[in-house]
């Protein structure tokens, strides 16, 4: 299919959308703006409201309150079949009694496209997902990855301005998943359609998305590019959900410009302070931490915490260490191949620059929802 710069895809606007089931709020005031042609990923643990959001956009679920605009038109109350939105389901949802060709032709038949045009468009959509040779097969004769590609072709064949995908790669193995991620990215670039993609896999979200909306307990915690979420998490939940992280908790004391945490007798400082009375914690990324044998001297101004190596993992491109700190918490450190290597049980010092520590409000949901 030709890129369609004139028809780039629909903008989506959710304004304080709430979906309640009795007293339980599956969505609790979700507001999200998606640009035309954007690849937006809804990321979060199960039960966080990301799939409910998708169902609300698709028209499978009614909203309790709030506004929903697709292409600047309100679609609240519009039934699913009138929304003209492509949907790809986790378990493919191909019609088992139709061949691949008839599956893909189905939305065109419904729209009264004549047979000659239908044939051309079906062939084009199947070619786009590299399934052109399979039109006469039945879905049961295809592998999971092939079925999902057919489902994708069926969802784009009628040129919807918006495509929704609900964990489409969730049922596939890792190799295939990684390869299909790149395929989806390519199709998104070629079509220029707005994509909304639901996943609980943060790596997948980072690979695919222009922007990511992180969901937790029916709310959006933060919206941003992968880099923004990794470097500048707005909440502890986001910091822990995206990428590896070490969270330092201790007795906190803030003066005008800096915050000090005392962890099992050792103090670390960060040159910032958190507004308000909340209890601050420090979040550190593994590549911002370094290890040193106990007793070696360090540069002045570097924070140091003593610990022991609890796990050493060789990753090929470097090493990953889990360091048990004096208060029992575990820090994750990634060190380059060129650095020193440490053995299990070795006494080490964990060093970091206070400027690299993110100060965040302690959020009890961050730990409980992750496991």
Partner 1 sequence: MSALEPTTQPAAAVRPGRAWRPFALTLPALVLLAAVIGYPLITIVLRSLSEPEWGAQNYVWFFGAPVNLAVLQRTFTISAWVTLVCVVCAYPYAYLMTAVGPRIRLVLVLCVLIPFWVSGVVRTLSWVILLQDSGVINSLLRSAGFTGIRLIRTQTGVVIGMAQVLLPFMILPLYSVMKGIDLKLVQAARSLGARPSRAFFTVYLPLSLPGVYAGAIIVFILALGFYITPALLGGPRSTMLSTLVQTQVLSLLQWGRGGAMGVVLLVTTFLLLALAAPVMRSRHREAGRR
SS3 of the chain: the string is CCCCHHHCCCCEEEEEEEEEECCEEEEEEEEEEECCCCEEEEECCCCCCHHHHHHHHHCCCCCCEEEEEECCEECCCCCHHHCCCEEECCCCCCCCCCCHHHHHHHHHHHCCCCHHHHHHHHHHHHHHCCCHHHCCCCHHHCCHHHHHHHHHHHHHCCCCCEEEEECCCCCCCHHHHHHHHHHHHHHHHHHCCEEEEEECCHHHHHHHCCEEEEEECCEEEEEECHHHHHHCCCCHHHHHHCCCCEEECCEEEECCCCEEEEECCEEEEECCCCCCCCCEEEEECHHHCEEEECCCCCCCCCEEEEEEEEEEEECCCEEEEEEEECCCCEEEEEEECCCCCCCCCCEEEEEECHHHCEEEECCHHHHHCCC
Please report whether residue 154 would count as binding partner 1 according to CB under 8 A.
Answer: yes
Residue placing its CB nearer to partner 1 in the complex, 155 or 309: 155
Please report whether residue 64 would count as binding partner 1 according to CB under 8 A.
Answer: no
User: In the window 157-216, what residues touch partner 1 (CB under 8 A)?
Assistant: 158, 173, 175-176, 179
Residue placing its CB nearer to partner 1 in the complex, 104 or 359: 104
Smallest separation, CB 145 to partner 1 (Å): 5
Please report whether residue 89 would count as binding partner 1 according to CB under 8 A.
Answer: yes
**Interface map 91-120 toward partner 1 (x if CB under 8 A):** x-xxxxxx-------xx--xx---------
Size of the site for partner 1 (CB under 8 A): 38
Please report whether residue 86 would count as binding partner 1 according to CB under 8 A.
Answer: yes
For partner 1, which residue of 68, 87, 187, 332 counts as binding (CB under 8 A)? 87
User: Which range touches partner 1 (CB under 8 A), out of 37-45, 152-160, 325-333, 339-347?
Assistant: 152-160
Residue placing its CB nearer to partner 1 in the complex, 84 or 202: 84
Please report whether residue 79 would count as binding partner 1 according to CB under 8 A.
Answer: yes
Binding residues for partner 1, rule: CB under 8 A, are 58-60, 79-81, 83-87, 89, 91, 93-98, 106-107, 110-111, 130, 138-141, 143, 145-146, 154-155, 158, 173, 175-176, 179
């Amino acid at each position: 299919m030709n890129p369609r710069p004139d028809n780039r895809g629909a903008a989506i606007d959710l304004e304080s959308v709430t979906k309640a089931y009795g007293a339980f709020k599956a969505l609790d005031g979700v507001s999200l703006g998606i640009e035309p042609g954007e690849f937006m990923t809804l990321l979060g643990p199960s039960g966080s409201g990301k799939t409910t959001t998708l169902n609300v956009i698709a028209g499978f679920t009614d909203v309790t309150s709030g506004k929903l605009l697709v292409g600047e038109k309100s679609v609240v109350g519009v039934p699913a079949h009138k929304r003209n939105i492509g949907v790809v389901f986790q378990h493919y949802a191909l019609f088992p009694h139709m061949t691949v060709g008839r599956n893909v032709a189905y939305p065109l038949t419904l729209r009264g496209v004549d047979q000659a045009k239908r044939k051309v468009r079906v062939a084009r959509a199947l070619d786009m997902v590299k399934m052109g040779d399979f039109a006469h097969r039945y879905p049961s004769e295809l592998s999971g990855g092939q079925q999902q590609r057919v489902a994708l072709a069926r969802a784009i064949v009628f040129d919807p301005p918006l495509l929704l995908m609900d964990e489409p790669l969730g049922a596939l193995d890792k190799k295939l998943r990684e390869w299909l991620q790149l395929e989806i990215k390519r199709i998104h670039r070629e079509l220029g359609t707005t994509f909304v993609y639901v996943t609980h896999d943060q790596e997948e979200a980072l690979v695919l998305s222009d922007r990511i909306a992180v969901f937790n307990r029916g709310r959006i915690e933060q919206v941003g590019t992968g880099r923004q979420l990794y470097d500048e998490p707005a909440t502890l939940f986001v910091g822990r959900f995206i990428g590896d992280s070490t969270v330092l908790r201790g007795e906190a004391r803030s003066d005008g410009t800096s915050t000090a945490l005392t962890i099992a007798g050792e103090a670390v400082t960060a040159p910032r302070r958190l507004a308000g009375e909340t209890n601050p914690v420090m979040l550190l990324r593994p590549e911002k931490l370094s290890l040193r044998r106990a007793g070696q001297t360090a540069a002045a101004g570097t924070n140091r915490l003593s610990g022991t190596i609890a796990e050493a993992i060789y990753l090929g491109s470097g090493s990953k260490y889990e360091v048990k700190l004096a208060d029992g918490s575990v820090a994750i450190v990634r060190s380059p191949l060129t650095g020193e290597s440490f053995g299990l049980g070795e006494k080490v010092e964990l060093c970091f620059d206070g400027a690299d520590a993110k100060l965040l409000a302690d959020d009890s949901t961050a730990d409980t929802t992750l496991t």
